[in-house]
Amino acid sequence: MLTALTVPIPRLKKVFDANGNAVELDYNPENSIQTVKDALGNSTTYEYDVRGNIVTLIDEQKPEHLLNKEPEFGIKD
């Protein structure tokens, strides 16, 4: 008899800064961070290519950033 046990990968879901403000982390099915929400409820969303590299950063407070198009991030194709 073969029994399989599936255990979820432990992932950091919330961190706190020195002032006790929480930052929440959500993950995609590939276990990469998909959304980060700060204590004020502002979200930053990350999109990845097929290799797992971040290619898009969407910040509610700013226009969409395509990381591979912005030289200051140092990311190249």
For the stretch 20-44, pLDDT in tens is 899 999 999 888 999 999 999 999 9
| Residue 3, domain member (yes or no) | no
| Residue 6, domain member (yes or no) | no
| Residue 20, domain member (yes or no) | yes
- Whether the full predicted model's pTM is greater than 0.85, yes or no, is no
* Structure confidence by residue, pLDDT tens digits, 2-26: 555 555 678 888 988 888 899 999 9
For CA atoms 61, 62, 67, 70, give the dihedral sign.
negative
Q: How far is CA 32 from the centre of its chain?
A: 6
| Residue 39, domain member (yes or no) | yes
Q: How far is CA 57 from the centre of its chain?
A: 9
Count of domains for the chain: 1
